[in-house]
Structure 1
Amino acid sequence: MDIQDERRRLLDAEGGDPTGLMSEQDAYLSKVKNRKLYLATLASVLGPMSFGFVLGYSSPAIPELTKIEDSRLRLDDNQASWFGSIVTVGAALGGLFGGWMVEKIGRKVSLMLCALPFVSGFTIIIAAQNVWMFYVGRMLTGLASGITSLVVPVYISEMAHEKVRGTLGSCVQLMVVIGIMGAYLGGLFIDWRWLAICCSIPPTLLMVFMSFMPETPRFLLSQGKRREAVESLRFLRGPDAPVEWECARIEEACDEQGSKFQLSDLKDPGVYKPLVIGIMLMIFQQMSGINAIMFYAENIFEQAHFKQSDLASVIVGLIQVVFTAVAALIMDKAGRKVLLIISGVAMAISTTAFGVYFYLMSLLPEPHGDLAWMALASIAVFITGFALGWGPIPWLIMSEIFPVKVRGFASAVCVLTNWSMAFIVTKNFQDMMNLLTSAGTFWLFASMCILNVIFTMVFVPETKGKTLEQIEATFRGMSGP
């Protein structure tokens, strides 16, 4: 009996489609209950929320720490730049470390261990006696952020089935922006120390809740643990789903790939094609200027002569939350590619307008109040566009396109690329503003947004509604299972 006959036998034996009109896949998914899958996703996305707090923390903290009375803790412009950007150095290292961790100790344990550097980093910031303690704390929270940004998308994509994978995968970015907005909002009411205390709560909850969640079936099967994989699937799919069928399908794909990743696998088009696409998505995401804008949101509004810059940052965070939620809801209907194109066009228009705003400001002898709203509107459109596509989708696609045996390595390369580019952009943002002028810097971001639209149209495949095994087969030039 071949694998297809076995699948049909399992579906029939466990109450599959009696009419034969539904595909095997549809018949299987009709029996699936998602309640515990949502629960596992909710537990895992406390990680992205934690690194959202890390990213957002610098925006309210930097203005406060540059004016603090204690000279040991006071930041000058260069130190403030490092305070904002050193997180990305830690995150780049975390991406590399995370790639090794997910392969050696699994997705679940890697995610639980992320909580330690998160909490340790914020504890050091809370207890800081000098600027170097700030750097160490930010570096540690960055390390945890890098590991989290790799592990969580992989964990969710390997747990979720194709009908909800886009929506659940988009929750990663949604929780990041909720964390960012939480940090902005907290900065309105509490000082930098109490804000750091609040930021350490989500990673603590992450470790507690993840201890009750399963490891992913694909990782367990790659380790030869079939019984545990079936139990994991039964937890995630509910008691009525014939999980042996899905387990057999994943097992078949794992057997075709072989066991361990080797560098010679990079010659395989099923590996190097998705890897190049993943790397380019990460480069374009950062070259849109998003992290520069988010790290220095309050500073940008101050430079734009917007009087209530801290409130403007909260508004920006709220817009990002709302439209990332919209993206999550429509991801599995609209598709990844369409949203990336719409997103890129919106960002290109808004960064161009922001450049025009700064250019007009340079011509005026004194600040003009009416133009300040042009700055806010430009950033609002940019954040809306980014939240709809280029925020969540590169991370989602990264988690979908790599074969399971290279997922740790390839994801690590993508995360390293993303955070390295984030460091380059955030660290040099102020220098770019000085060298190219504020207008020129935003016009540079606009040109990169145009390029990312062209790249998406030509090279990025649509992954909506496909299993991870079907996506892999697309890159190999084969028809899906």
Structure 2
Amino acid sequence: MTLGYTTLLIPVLSGNGDSEFSLGPEGISWIGSVALICVPFGCFLSGMITQPLGRKRSMQLINIPFMASWLLFYFSTKIWHVFAALALSGLAGGLMEAPVLTYVAEVTQPHLRGVLSSTSSMSVISGSMIQFILSTFLKWRTVALCSAVVPIFSFCLLYVIPETPTWLVSKKRYKEAKESLAWLRGWVEIEKVDKEYKELFAHIQMSRGIGNSGFQLDNGQMQGNVNGEINKTRNETNQNRKRTKTETLKLFKKRNFIRPYLLVSYTFFLSHFNGMSPVQTYAVTIFSSLKAPIDEYYATALLGIVEFFGCVSCVCLLRHIGKRVLSFISLIATAICFLVIGLYSYFFHINTLLENKNSNTTVSNSTVHPENVLKDSHEYSWVPLVLIISAAFVSHMGIRVLPWILTGEMFPNETRAIASGITATSYYIFGFVCNKVFLSMINTFTLPGTFWFYSSMSFIGFIVLYFILPETEGKTLQEITDHFAGKSSLGNKVYKRRKNITGINNEAFNDNTSRRTDIESKL
């Protein structure tokens, strides 16, 4: 919602709306990007508060700065109040990354994780869509006040869900961990999740490097139950305990980290520089400049709705055609849409964005009279509207969503947590740069040239990913790690169903529905 609110602020602070503030192009470029550059600082602090406080409590507390930023928007009397609110919302967004992503990873069953990992992108788009819809009916301060209610609901609703079993076990709160696991598996009896709980306990103990001395919890119920598994890995854990910082850093020099990092970072780059990131941020102004046949705020609301359905389509198609094909379709279709929009803008001499909503002229380097330009373009004004909406749909069906899914599965286990944070930081840095230079690009290359630049980035991205992006859908994490380590090749085939998955004996993780009748979620 904070990201979507930026789209509403830009035309208002440009002097086109009901506001006592007015900014020039440089100030507007900071409005569209300052929140994004503050997110990495929040990401850096996020892990520090998530582990000691817990995932649930961290998510609750982060609602406080979110609510504060909305109230600061509403009561702002000076322009620096708006910038402070944007920075605070960006910082809170970064703080949110670790507890939310960790919570989902620790409570989700493996056969559901692929689909549910895409819900983060769906949530972002849903928040933006809500802001776009509210902005068509309410003024910007009222939208901020309405948005301040959401963190309050979120804070209260988080009392309903349990803390993750993994964190509770790590804090030796074993009884609560069992109750949490039983709740998460569909409010079943604790006995139904006993086997899964033992495996979880064994995994955490081995990660701590505990040997075969046995352990005590829950009145001795689990005394030594997992010693056999721990004995098998005792030598390995002893080596891990002796690992120095230098040896740990060597993990980030291996090809099974470097290759996935470069690939995921490049997909994040494409998710912004395919053009949809600045188009969404400056949507109201762009629709106004291209003389959309409907009100620019209605068009922006439609944009948000279409983006949401694009994410839904991604979830539905992912398991059938795979990430590789979805990325190709997304990039090629977006490239074609922006190529045609650039041709439209060039043909009708729309070379820059309107400075004022009520202006009847555009800045043009041609000798064509502005009134004739608008008259000639009116008949075809639906063309850029349809193409921008289409580009929004196909972008969020693929390249805008898939990088987040790739982040969670391409890195080896020993570097996955840190690598995910690093790549997420690169996403926000690319977003900041893309939005910050958008207006400068229009001044330098004109509006048609800017759209052609984004089109070329998508075409180049398609060619590059065709040669370097493997198909990971349906593949195990070990297969993916071996591929990037050079031990094997994933190929481009989609595995739609894995009947026998090594190492999963727990019925709570079994994808055979005939054996999950007792633990299937009732939610």
What TM bracket, shorter-length normalisation? 0.7 to 0.9
Matched, 1:361 2:348: yes
Q: CA deviation at 1:464?
A: 2.5
Q: Distance in 2 between matches of 1:200 and 1:399?
A: 31
Equivalent position of 1:48 in the other structure: none
- Count of residues in Structure 1 that have an aligned counterpart in Structure 2: 428
- Contact 1:55 / 1:180 at 8 angstroms: preserved in 2? yes
Query: Which one has a bigger Cα radius of gyration?
Result: 2
Q: Distance in 1 between matches of 2:422 and 2:7?
A: 28
Q: Distance in 2 between matches of 1:468 and 1:225?
A: 30
Matched, 1:263 2:249: yes
Matched, 1:196 2:182: no
Following superposition of structure 1 onto structure 2, how do residues 30-45 of structure 1 map, counting pairs within 5 Å?
A: none
Q: Distance in 1 between matches of 2:271 and 2:48?
A: 24
Q: Distance in 1 between matches of 2:136 and 2:114?
A: 34
Alpha-carbon RMSD: 3.0
Matched, 1:446 2:455: yes
Q: CA deviation at 1:348?
A: 1.3
Q: Which amino acid is 2:257 matched to?
A: V
- Contact 1:106 / 1:219 at 8 angstroms: preserved in 2? yes
Following superposition of structure 1 onto structure 2, how do residues 5-20 of structure 1 map, counting pairs within 5 Å?
A: none
- Contact 2:73 / 2:81 at 8 angstroms: preserved in 1? yes
* TM-score, normalisation: structure 1: 0.79
Q: CA deviation at 1:165?
A: 1.8
Matched, 1:236 2:184: yes
Following superposition of structure 1 onto structure 2, how do residues 17-56 of structure 1 map, counting pairs within 5 Å?
A: 53-56=1-4
- Greater RCO between the two (CA within 8 Å, min separation 6)? 1
Matched, 1:89 2:37: yes
Equivalent position of 2:291 in the other structure: 305
Q: Distance in 2 between matches of 1:120 and 1:252?
A: 40
* Cα distance per residue 1:40-74 (max 9 Å; x no partner): xxxxxxxxxxxxx1111122233234245664x33
Are residues 103 and 244 of structure 1, via their aligned partners in 2, closer, same or farther at CA, if it must alter by over 3 Å?
Answer: closer
- Contact 1:125 / 1:133 at 8 angstroms: preserved in 2? yes
Structure 1: stretches of 5+ with no match in the other structure: 1-52
Are residues 206 and 327 of structure 1, via their aligned partners in 2, closer, same or farther at CA, if it must alter by over 3 Å?
Answer: same
- Contact 1:320 / 1:387 at 8 angstroms: preserved in 2? yes
Q: Which amino acid is 2:347 matched to?
A: L
Q: CA deviation at 1:204?
A: 2.5
* Cα distance per residue 1:328-372 (max 9 Å; x no partner): 223233322221121111111112112112111217641211332
Q: Distance in 2 between matches of 1:215 and 1:274?
A: 31
Matched, 1:247 2:256: no
Equivalent position of 2:316 in the other structure: 329
Picking from 61, 81, 100, the partner of 1:113 is 61
* SS of residue paired to 1:163: helix
Structure 1, 62-71 or 248-257: larger mean CA deviation: 248-257
Q: Distance in 2 between matches of 1:70 and 1:339?
A: 42
Q: CA deviation at 1:138?
A: 0.7
- Contact 2:169 / 2:201 at 8 angstroms: preserved in 1? no
- Contact 2:65 / 2:92 at 8 angstroms: preserved in 1? yes
* TM-score, normalisation: structure 2: 0.73
Q: Distance in 1 between matches of 2:325 and 2:340?
A: 23
Following superposition of structure 1 onto structure 2, how do residues 457-468 of structure 1 map, counting pairs within 5 Å?
A: 457-466=466-475, 468=477
Following superposition of structure 1 onto structure 2, how do residues 351-430 of structure 1 map, counting pairs within 5 Å?
A: 351-362=338-349, 365=369, 366-367=373-374, 368-430=377-439
Q: Distance in 2 between matches of 1:223 and 1:337?
A: 41
Equivalent position of 1:39 in the other structure: none
Q: CA deviation at 1:84?
A: 2.0
* SS of residue paired to 1:402: coil
Q: Which amino acid is 1:297 matched to?
A: A
Q: Which amino acid is 1:267 matched to?
A: K
* SS of residue paired to 1:401: coil
- Contact 1:162 / 1:465 at 8 angstroms: preserved in 2? no
* SS of residue paired to 2:109: coil
Q: CA deviation at 1:154?
A: 4.1
Structure 2: stretches of 5+ with no match in the other structure: 210-235, 350-365, 489-501, 504-523
Q: CA deviation at 1:217?
A: 5.0
Are residues 190 and 289 of structure 1, via their aligned partners in 2, closer, same or farther at CA, if it must alter by over 3 Å?
Answer: same
Q: CA deviation at 1:388?
A: 0.6
Are residues 252 and 344 of structure 1, via their aligned partners in 2, closer, same or farther at CA, if it must alter by over 3 Å?
Answer: farther
Q: Which amino acid is 1:458 matched to?
A: F
Q: Which amino acid is 1:361 matched to?
A: F
* Cα distance per residue 1:435-479 (max 9 Å; x no partner): 011111111111211232233333333332345565445544669
Q: Distance in 2 between matches of 1:266 and 1:226?
A: 34
Matched, 1:78 2:26: yes
Are residues 344 and 252 of structure 1, via their aligned partners in 2, closer, same or farther at CA, if it must alter by over 3 Å?
Answer: farther
Q: Distance in 1 between matches of 2:481 and 2:331?
A: 26
Q: Distance in 2 between matches of 1:214 and 1:462?
A: 35
Q: Distance in 1 between matches of 2:323 and 2:95?
A: 24
Picking from 265, 270, 281, the partner of 1:295 is 281
